[in-house]
């Protein structure tokens, strides 16, 4: 039973560029959440996708956008990259997005913006 997978594992971009990160949820899960973990900090919630729609959003600018596909996989897009966007981006999946459901995390994509 595959867990949450993310690609790529590492990425280097320059300021102003755009990046797309990908996530495949754990088998049987239909909800995907994205988190940003800056160095030395805890993960911060970016947004959550359920039934191909953004259901919740954290305090992140519109430069951060996402998408969920019919197979429940998801993408995180960041436009006009800033140095401060350098972080580990985590994807978490769960079932139904219900509060009683545990979120399972992937290994993350480490993004470095130069």
Partner 1 sequence: AQSVSQHNHHVILSEAASLELGCNYSYGGTVNLFWYVQYPGQHLQLLLKYFSGDPLVKGIKGFEAEFIKSKFSFNLRKPSVQWSDTAEYFCAVNAREAGANNLFFGTGTRLTVIP
CA dihedral 24, 29, 32, 33 (to 10 degrees): -120
If the CB atoms of residues 36 and 85 are measured against partner 1, the closer one turns out to be 36
Of 30-89, binders to partner 1 (CB under 8 A) are: 31, 33, 35, 40-45, 48, 55-56, 58
- Which residues partner with 47 through β-bridges? 34, 57
Structure-token pair, residue 36: 């940003």
Residue 108 found at the interface with partner 1 (CB under 8 A): yes
**What residues make contact with partner 1 under the rule CB under 8 A?**
4, 31, 33, 35, 40-45, 48, 55-56, 58, 90, 92, 94, 97-108
């Amino acid at each position: 039973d595959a867990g949450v997978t993310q690609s790529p594992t590492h990425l280097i971009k320059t300021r102003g560029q755009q990046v797309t990160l990908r996530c495949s949820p754990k088998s049987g899960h239909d909800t995907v959440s994205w988190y940003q973990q800056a160095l030395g900090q805890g993960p911060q919630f970016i947004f959550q996708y359920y039934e191909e729609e953004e259901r919740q959003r954290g305090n992140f600018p519109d430069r951060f956008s996402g998408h969920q596909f019919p197979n429940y996989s998801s993408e995180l897009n960041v436009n006009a990259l800033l140095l401060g966007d350098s972080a580990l981006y985590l994807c978490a999946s769960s079932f139904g997005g219900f509060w009683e459901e545990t979120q399972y995390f992937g290994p993350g994509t480490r993004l470095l913006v130069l």
